[in-house]
Amino acid sequence: MAHKVTYIPGDGIGPEVVEAAREVIDATGVKIEWERADAGAEVEVRTGSNLPDATIEQIARSGVALKGPTATAVGRGSRSANVGLRKALDLYANLRPVKSIPGIKSRYENVDLVVVRENTEGLYSGLEHIVVPGVVEAIKIVTERASTRIARFAFEYARRHKRKKVTVVHKANIMKLSDGLFLESARNVARNYSDIEFEDVIVDALCTKLVLDPSQFDVLLLENLYGDIISDLCAGLVGGLGVVGGANIGDTAAVFEAVHGTAPDIAGKGVANPTAVLLSAEMMLLHLGEHEAAARLRGAIEKVLGEGKVRTRDLGGTATLREYVDALKAALA
């Protein structure tokens, strides 16, 4: 039976890379019935909303979406469609596997770790206000419920994917109550997973350790702000945002999307790199239980990039998006 998957083209290079990704995913042989939904700046111009109710309802129905990047204005305008989606569907876990790809130049060759980020609270709760002119207060929310839920997610993920260790990241030496609660919740959950090693590390020390020797980490568990920053640092360990996938996952729905933006400078030119969307699609296939198709997709990406003959410009090559997609499809054939 075909899986029903919602796809959201998004803005900028979104439509090009999502279309390319659908073509390559279909070439793995997996049966997917694609249903389109819209989000982002383009649909906002047409309908007045960057996240129409129909889009949320459709993802809630299908349970799985592949999303292109959507544009958000800085410091003004509507709330980002991504934040809206996370809230509407309670996508509380942000997941980013970070794995070296043969042939992609980076400082390390064998990075293989997973960043699990709490997606719903912390300093990203959107609670900011002007106390008096010149003084702004931002409120960091930490609840035992959300901290426990994300810790469980990290341990369950570790167990399912045969990972050995979960490292919880915090600054509880300074933020004793807020980060203290996040740490304590993780410790409580860890007691139920004696098969998985558990440790904690202070976020600044983590940065040093990560850049010196990323192989000492396996699954990293972080609250929202640290998770946002550290997940980009980790992407840098394997070659940048163009070569990692990501997902926002809840109990009833999951949205898979590349972590890069809409790349307005190259949109519509046919030179964008769909690798990040494809790596998100690999995660999506695993989520759907399509392990063989996921492995074939990863294999094709590693083969083409490893050979180094067909690469898009951002990876130092000259290939167009079309040429890269054709090379991936040939590798899958």
Kindly name the residue from 124, 157, 226, 324 that is annotated as catalytic: 124
**242 forms part of the interface with ligand NAI (CB under 6 A):** yes
Query: With CB under 6 A as the contact rule, which of the stretches 94-102, 182-190, 263-271, 291-299 interacts with ligand NAI?
Result: 263-271
Residue 43's closest CA among 64, 65, 20, 14? 14
Kindly name the residue from 171, 179, 226, 324 that is annotated as catalytic: 171
Nearest to ligand NAI of 69, 214 (CB atom): 69
Active-site residue, 265 included? no
The distance of closest approach from Cβ of residue 45 to ligand NAI in the complex, given in angstroms and rounded to an integer, is: 14
Q: What are phi and psi of 245, to 5 degrees?
A: -100, 170
Active-site residue, 26 included? no
**257 forms part of the interface with ligand NAI (CB under 6 A):** yes
Active-site residue, 218 included? no
Kindly name the residue from 31, 176, 204, 213 that is annotated as catalytic: 204
Q: For residues 179-218, which are near ligand NAI according to CB under 6 A? A: none
Query: With CB under 6 A as the contact rule, which of the stretches 110-118, 121-129, 197-205, 260-268 interacts with ligand NAI?
Result: 260-268
Q: Out of 28, 167, 185, 262, which residue is the one contacting ligand NAI (CB under 6 A)?
A: 262
The CA distances from residue 206 to 12, 25, 242, 251, 302, in Å, are 34, 36, 23, 29, 29
Q: Out of 75, 194, 265, 333, which residue is the one contacting ligand NAI (CB under 6 A)?
A: 265
Q: For residues 4-33, which are near ligand NAI according to CB under 6 A? A: 13, 17
Q: For residues 44-83, which are near ligand NAI according to CB under 6 A? A: 69-72, 82
Site string for ligand NAI, 120-159 (x = CB under 6 A): ----------------------------------------
Kindly name the residue from 228, 232, 314, 326 that is annotated as catalytic: 228
The CA distances from residue 180 to 152, 175, 208, 300, 312, in Å, are 17, 7, 22, 44, 45
The CA distances from residue 153 to 93, 144, 160, in Å, are 7, 14, 10
Crossing angle of the two packed helices 14-27 and 275-287, in degrees rounded to 10: 50
The distance of closest approach from Cβ of residue 159 to ligand NAI in the complex, given in angstroms and rounded to an integer, is: 28
The distance of closest approach from Cβ of residue 204 to ligand NAI in the complex, given in angstroms and rounded to an integer, is: 25
Crossing angle of the two packed helices 275-287 and 291-307, in degrees rounded to 10: 160
Nearest to ligand NAI of 83, 141 (CB atom): 83
Active-site residue, 228 included? yes
Length of the chain: 333
Residue 283's closest CA among 54, 67, 87? 67
Query: With CB under 6 A as the contact rule, which of the stretches 18-26, 43-51, 181-189, 266-274 interacts with ligand NAI?
Result: 266-274
Nearest to ligand NAI of 180, 236 (CB atom): 236
Residue 58's closest CA among 87, 83, 34, 24? 34
Start-to-end Cα distance in the chain: 22
Pairing of strands 112-118, 128-132: unpaired
Contact footprint for ligand NAI (CB under 6 A): 13, 17, 69-72, 82, 242, 257, 260-266, 272-273, 276, 314
Q: Which residues are catalytic?
A: 124, 171, 204, 228
